[in-house]
Structure 1
Amino acid sequence: MNILYISDLDGTLLNEQMRLSEETIRTVNAWIGAGGSFSVATARAWDSAGRVLERLDLRLPVVLMNGVFVYDPVKREYLVSNLLDNETARDVIEGEERLGLRPFVYTVNERQQFKIYYKGIFNASEREYVTNRLKTGDERFRLVEKLDIPPDERVMEINVMGTEQELAATRELFGARLDLTCHFGPDIYAPGYCWLEINHARATKRDGVAQLKRLLQPDRIVCFGDNLNDLPMFEIADEKYAMGNAHPLLKEKATGVLATNAEHGVARYLQTIIPPAPRDKSCGTA
């Protein structure tokens, strides 16, 4: 039986330092080397996900930005894209700014050049996010006075960070729109703050995993997650495992609860399973 294992990154496969532990690297690579099917589904773009995953021998497509993209890291090719039209994006940006929020606007052009436009750093969540990304060499950030969308760029996501109370009006304003998806959840790196990421209606981990299912034709899907944006992925999986550090709602929906991300929970789970028989290396996307 071909079982596809799919893991979230932050709070799940990554430890509290936003890195893969040595145990996780050894275990996942051994699993893949023995013929296991392993992928990730993350809120990160490849610019940041690729850096933290560079030591994994990933051979299958991955889900990025909560389903905005399905990306083949072997061929370095975007297989699926779910982008906002710029008129809708401007409507969201203007609505959030009227509510006193400071959006981060993520764009891409036809040459696959990615940028993040923002007006500054105004709270601890924004500071943690921007500082960490810049420290790792992320070159996407553009500090601007006005959030104008260049005509040759498309918007992938609009993200605001604040307290749950600060984001409540925006969630109410855009949460019911059928042309949008609102991903809301706590910032695991800045306690007391939340993120509200607004994307195309089809940009969910459920839709991204459905695309992986279509492309790879597994018999079963097993997934691992910790935060609210993983709930759509849980809906489509045959088995779903919440981390010990997961949000209570994920634990309620989960097939089981694993050790925490700090305790290498995904790796420890894989170690309990007999590795599959080696596959013909000519198969897949390698």
Structure 2
Amino acid sequence: MVKIVFSDIDGTFLTPESKVSPVTAEAVKKLLAKDIPLVLVSARMPEAIYPLTEAIGITIPIISYSGALALTAEGEELGSVTMDGADTARLLDVLASEYQEAVVNYYAGHHWYVKDVANERVQTEVRITSAQPQAADFHERLEAGEVPHKILLMAEPELCERAEAELSARFPMFHVVRSAAFLLEIMDASVSKASGIAVMLEHFGLTPEEALSFGDNYNDTEMLELTGRSVAMGNAPEAIKKLATDVTAANAEDGLAKFLEREILQENSDG
């Protein structure tokens, strides 16, 4: 029986308009009422996740930065993995000289730093997540000891795809993965959504076999492979659908809520 549920956010938990549908909100409340924890797992920073839970009226644990930061429902830190400072400095130099078309974002704990707050891609992220960036010099943040949990590149899909291959080869100490066609996430190599989930499972005293996960993209791969049951959204690439144990409807059709109602809430009621 499923005893805990993990869900990706963008493309999974949210509608294509980046909203929580009333149907999903209702299913989540039913799940929590049955004492089955829900943990949101995302590349987002904490401040880009909390507006969603507040809108539903729930307080739950979260896994941020694709697994690099795990927090309890009360906001207490369960696990935190930051990038190496020297390697990050070298990465920033490479990005500045060889990937000038990309918009670089520097995430450390509860802070989001950018070079230009007014940049169009940055402002698009603000509209989607409600998080607020701060203008800063990245090397100065490093020298001040504020090492990042994540570096995010915003760029055209072709550049993201090329950068993923090139940076993965040049920086094996980092985990480099696309979370969307135009977003490239860079974290410590030990970090994945699965590593964050492992921390959370230990906190709850549960095993991967007792967990269910929902995802829609390539950065959900390790998470979907870890949990006993895994669900790919109908809007996921075929490769993601093939590795999941189940496939549900797309996020535009309340796929997460439909699966919970049919497979978990009904099963739990019958049991």
* Equivalent of 2:244 in 240, 254, 258: 254
Structure 2, gaps ≥5 residues long: none
Report the Cα distance in structure 1 between the residues aligned to 2:36 and 2:223, rounded to whole angstroms: 20
1:128-277 aligned within 5 A: 128-133=124-129, 136=130, 138-142=131-135, 144=136, 146-150=137-141, 151-176=144-169, 177-187=171-181, 194-219=182-207, 220-272=210-262, 273=264, 274=266, 276=268
* Amino acid paired to 1:68: A
Whether the 8 Å contact between 2:117 and 2:134 is mirrored in structure 1 is: no
Aligned to 1:63, the other structure's residue is in SS state strand
Instruction: Answer 1 or 2: higher relative contact order, Cα 8 Å, separation at least 6.
Output: 1
SS at match of 2:12: helix
Cα 1:2/1:60, change in 2 over 3 Å: farther
1:40 aligned partner: 40
Using a 3 Å threshold, how does the CA distance of structure 1 residues 83 and 169 change in structure 2: closer, same or farther? same
1:106, 1:157 within 8 Å by CA — same for their partners in 2? yes
The normalised TM-score by structure 1 is 0.82
TM-score using structure 2 length:
0.86
**RMSD across aligned C-alpha pairs, in angstroms?**
2.3
The aligned counterpart of 1:115 is 112
Q: CA deviation at 1:255?
A: 1.2
- Aligned positions of 1:85-100 closer than 5 A: 85-100=84-99
Q: Aligned letter for 2:246?
A: G
Q: CA shift at 1:118, angstroms?
A: 2.7
Which SS does the other structure have where 1:32 is aligned? Answer: helix
Give CA deviations for 1:121-175 in whole Å, capped at 9, x if unaligned: 666x555224444xx3x33332x5x533321412121111222332345323321
Give the Cα–Cα distance (whole angstroms) in 1 for the partners of residues 107 and 124 of structure 2. Answer: 21
Contact 1:161 1:196 in 2 (8 A): yes
Instruction: Specify whether residues 132 and 250 from structure 1 end up closer, same or farther in structure 2 by C-alpha distance, changes over 3 A only.
Output: same
For 1:271 and 1:51, the matched residues in 2 are separated by 24
Unpaired runs of 5+ residues, structure 1, are 188-193, 278-286
Structural mapping, 1:52-67, within 5 Å: 52-56=52-56, 58=58, 60-67=60-67
